[in-house]
Structure 1
Amino acid sequence: MSRRGTFARAGLSLSVVESGSGRRMIFQHGLCGDAAQPQELFPGDAGWSCLTLECRGHGASEAGPPEAFSIATFADDVAALAKARGGGPVVIGGVSMGAAIALRLAVQRPDLVSGLVLVRPAWFVDSAPANMAPNAEVGNLLANHELDKARALFEASPTAAMLAREAPDNLASLRGFFTRAPIETTAALLRAIAPDGPGVTRDALAGIAVPTVVIGHGEDFIHPIAHAEALAAAIPKATLVRITPKAVSRERYVHEARAALSDFLKEIPQ
């Protein structure tokens, strides 16, 4: 059962969700997601606990000023939580945007990180990768049109048609943004994070010295397997695990992600 609390940061009340018991892993959600996303993928029988900070404007966390929305800000919030909880470095990971947050911390705050988990990374090192363009497109539609008009324009777009053919799970996620409240915050998050990046370099990846697992799959435009492969190749102690795409079987996707994470956590020394 999950336990929910709050963490005060920069005058905001941020939601913290924890499940399981044992050694702690910090596991972050993706853009416009919440703690349910990483909690679903966490192996509850691994002898570890899973801690997720719901980023500003996500889940039950307050949003604060939209101009502060960035991967750097979200990473700083996670670092502050990790320090506040104490106990030395921990395994830090994330899904999609959460993977970018974790990657940034592994480079900039190695004192906090004992292991790294990157699930369906949406970035390699560059900002504003082409695969994030659909998120920016939806954000701009939401910001510039009434909701019904924005939805209609998206459904008629070449982007929606392409995703229907190549990445239906991505299309379902994008459609969900049109019902995510408050719409103003959703638009601001999409417009701020899509052109952002983890703020790391290829050379910096070679300096990551902790055990790392990169988990990815095909049939995913926004989280291309090429990014997972590139990260696994660039980080010295990284292992790449390919799992079943969500578009093929969500049940198998969840089962295989949990298994990969469980295997990884078993190898992390005390």
Structure 2
Amino acid sequence: MKPASLWPDEQLPAHHVPPPWPGRGVRLDGTVTYVRDTPATGPDAEPALYVHGLGGSAQNWTDLAGLLADRLDGQAIDLPGFGRSEPGRRYTIPAFADRVVRWIEHSDRGPVHLFGNSLGGAVAVRVAALRPELVRTLTLISPALPFLDFRRSLQGRMLPLLAIPRGERLAAWRLAQLAPEVMARQVMEACIADLSRISEQRHREAVEEIRIRYEATHYAAAYVRTFRGLVASFLRSYLPGPDSLWRLAAGVRAPTLVVGGRQDRLVDVRVAPQAARVIPDSRLLMLDGVGHVAQLEVPRTVARAVLALLTETGESAERRDMAG
């Protein structure tokens, strides 16, 4: 592990708030996966894939993907049951990882620069460990890798829900009690340390995302079942067996950037440094005054770290080619 480097800020595009990138539904293995494309603006851009967190969507990556478009030809997917993707049969880390792998294979764009936030970070670790030929570099933002002290997470309040039969019905009832604007505000307050960093446009888009959830009858079940699957993966990681996310992380060989916010209220703030210690070729960026979704809250800072990673790994590849 080493500290992450930062690319010069003046070499990034001028500050602006891009609209959501165009999206489309793609039928994959019998269900529709929704994908947003961030078209490359540079001639030598390489493929990238962005994976959102629990309760998020592909839209969470709009700002970061726009800042990286000169170097990366980006796609962001909605995991099954989230955003505009149709529900899946299973809501587990392996099932989501299988969908990511299938998308990379279906799109024939691999190997990709793979990004994951929160739940998406855990999914990305599994993909990078088990299918290394599909991943050029790995960027993990507040990855939801295992921790057992749920007092360090606001999500700990949901644990009793997992013990209730048909807990998803209670979640759906709770969802219906709150106006979309109120729910969006609560989600942002949980995920973001400084709400003044979020533009009015992003606030409006968050409310619209909540409205979509209200209309999707499967959403509450997808959320609760995914949270249940995530907790189960945490518990398995401290038992013998090949499915431990920490053992998988130790097997990642891709150059990796790990980003954590010191004001993260959803994932134990000790997880990001632990991930960087476990993953062999890693760089760590810990951000003061930042919450759970650094790519939304401080996208320029995250982009600078990613560009430094891309430059470093590109130069290393060139040296290997010359030596060969």
TM-score, normalization by structure 1: 0.78
Where 2:143 maps in the other structure, the secondary structure is: coil
1:49 aligns with one of 73, 78, 101: 73
- Please tell me the residue identity of whatever aligns with 2:225: A
1:26 to 2:49 alignment: yes
For residues 288 and 152 of structure 2, what CA distance do their matches in structure 1 show? 23
For residues 134 and 258 of structure 1, what CA distance do their matches in structure 2 show? 33
Q: Which sections of structure 1, spanning at least 5 residues, go unmatched?
A: none
1:236 aligns with one of 280, 288, 302: 280
Where 2:218 maps in the other structure, the secondary structure is: helix
**1:244 to partner: Cα distance:** 4.2
Deviation readout 1:237-257 (Å, 9 max, x if unpaired)? 111101244459988622212
| Count of paired positions | 255
Where 1:7 maps in the other structure, the secondary structure is: strand
2:28 aligns with one of 1, 9, 25: 9
Where 2:60 maps in the other structure, the secondary structure is: helix
1:195 to 2:228 alignment: yes
2:117 aligns with one of 77, 82, 95: 95
2:170 corresponds to: 144
For residues 107 and 293 of structure 2, what CA distance do their matches in structure 1 show? 37
Deviation readout 1:115-166 (Å, 9 max, x if unpaired)? 111011122377x997342455678776227347866xxx9xxxx9xx98xx
| Contact 1:119/1:215 (8 A) holds in 2 | yes
Against the structure 1 CA distance between its residues 244 and 257, is the aligned structure 2 distance closer, same or farther, given a 3 Å change threshold? farther
**1:205 to partner: Cα distance:** 2.4
2:59 aligns with one of 36, 47, 64: 36
| Contact 1:245/1:253 (8 A) holds in 2 | no
Against the structure 1 CA distance between its residues 31 and 148, is the aligned structure 2 distance closer, same or farther, given a 3 Å change threshold? closer
**1:19 to partner: Cα distance:** 0.4
**1:93 to partner: Cα distance:** 1.6
Percent identity between matched residues is: 22
Q: Which deviates the most, 26-35 or 139-148?
A: 139-148
1:115 corresponds to: 137
**1:51 to partner: Cα distance:** 1.1
Q: Which sections of structure 2, spanning at least 5 residues, go unmatched?
A: 1-18, 196-202, 234-242, 318-324
**1:45 to partner: Cα distance:** 4.6
1:265 aligns with one of 299, 302, 310: 310
* Structure-to-structure mapping, 1:162-173, within 5 angstroms: 169=192
**1:211 to partner: Cα distance:** 0.3
For residues 191 and 98 of structure 2, what CA distance do their matches in structure 1 show? 33
Q: Cα RMSD between the aligned structures?
A: 3.7
| Contact 2:112/2:136 (8 A) holds in 1 | yes
Q: Which deviates the most, 202-211 or 10-19?
A: 202-211
- Whose relative contact order is higher, 1 or 2, with alpha carbons under 8 Å and at least 6 apart? 2
Against the structure 1 CA distance between its residues 14 and 247, is the aligned structure 2 distance closer, same or farther, given a 3 Å change threshold? closer
| Contact 2:141/2:293 (8 A) holds in 1 | no
Against the structure 1 CA distance between its residues 52 and 63, is the aligned structure 2 distance closer, same or farther, given a 3 Å change threshold? same
Q: Decide which structure has the larger Cα Rg and report it.
A: 2
For residues 309 and 136 of structure 2, what CA distance do their matches in structure 1 show? 12
| Contact 2:53/2:117 (8 A) holds in 1 | yes
For residues 259 and 246 of structure 1, what CA distance do their matches in structure 2 show? 16
